[in-house]
Structure 1
Amino acid sequence: MTSITIYHNPRCGTSRNTLALIRNSGVEPEVIEYLKSPPRRETLVALIAATGHPVINAVRSKEALFTELNLGAPGVTDEQLIDAMAQHPILINRPIVVTPLGTRLCRPSEAVLDILPQRQQGAFSKEDGEVVIGANGQRAQGTDRPTSKP
């Protein structure tokens, strides 16, 4: 059985779409509602490192608390950003998905397709109606990345 974990916020449409895409591949992931069960600082550091992107990408810069804490000021370090996310999980950008093929911040939700070990099992449209996966289980026309391999 494939092991997939999603750090999920059920109030976020992107997170809900990502979770639905994982399930559309035939896998029921471990769902961690990170606002209820925040990752420990060490886990957060490991997740961010595994994405291969800068720490700032993992921070929700549009969150009011980001501004209140002055996290966008010159000289704010990665350590300070991580400390803020550990203390205030609302600042963690989501969803973060971990699969055997990698770890991604899945914004947009289709980014999860690149790290899913199994193909999509059927058509899929986002909550807003945008078609992502056609009836044949392949990415809809107009996308430039292939679906993950079986």
Structure 2
Amino acid sequence: MTVTIYHNPECGTSRNTLAMIRQSGVEPIVIDYRKTPPARTRIRELVSAAGLTLRQAIRQKDTPYAKLGLAGTSLSDEQLLDAIAAHPILLNRPFVETPLGTRLCRPSELVLDILENADIGPFTKEDGEVIIDAEGKRVTGSGSA
């Protein structure tokens, strides 16, 4: 199974997602999208495959979103792609692609829906939130990180 994660190693959600992928027995292709930004067409493919609009894939927190004036609803996809090209950190993360689908994994446990082996055993996020308990059951009501 080929799994690709568009990853930001400074992001806890991204690190948790990567850890779940690895705990499933898969060593993914890890792309630090800040250092190797995906091309415009690739961004469009990822966003579309995840069932999102480009605007939904834009990260506002801890980015130059407000400073760049991206809140305006009149901006076209091309303008948003221009902003992402200039500031890759604007692309929300982590996007994960597997043969079972593509997701923006926020919260990180969404990755379990697209892994062939989602039975990863107990898993606790960096912040202490239990995602899968000692019996291997997914804990419901998990909030996003």
Structure-2 change in CA distance of 1:64 and 1:28 (3 Å): closer
Total equivalences in the alignment: 142
Cα contact 2:20–2:120 (8 A) shared by 1: no
Look up the match of 2:16: 17
> What is the root-mean-square deviation in Å for CA atoms of aligned residues?
1.5
Instruction: Give me the whole-angstrom Cα distance separating, in 1, the residues matched to 2:121 and 2:48.
Output: 32
List structure 1 segments (4+ residues) > 2 angstroms apart after TM superposition.
Answer: 135-138
| 2-structure distance, mates of 1:127, 1:92 | 22
Task: Tell me if the contact between 2:63 and 2:89 (Cα under 8 Å) persists in the aligned partners.
Answer: no
TM-score normalised by structure 2 residue count: 0.91
Q: Structure 1, unaligned stretches of length 5 or more?
A: 145-150
Assess, with a 3 A threshold, how the Cα gap between structure 1 residues 32 and 64 changes in structure 2: closer, same or farther: closer
C-alpha distance in 1, partners of 2:130/2:7? 22
Partner of 2:99: 100
Matches within 5 A, 1:108-127: 108-127=107-126
1:66 aligns with 2:65: yes
SS in 2 for 1:97: strand
Q: Which stretch of the first structure deviates more once superposed, 58-67 or 124-133?
A: 58-67
Q: Which runs of 5+ in 2 are unaligned?
A: none
State whether structure 2 residue 88 is matched by structure 1 residue 89: yes
Change (3 A) 1:37 1:15: same
> In the alignment, does 2:133 pair up with 1:129?
no
CA contact (8 A) 1:66 1:91 kept: yes
Taking only the aligned residue pairs, the percentage that are identical comes to 57
Q: Is the 8 A contact 2:63 2:90 kept in 1?
A: no
Q: What is the TM-score with the length of structure 1 in the denominator?
A: 0.88
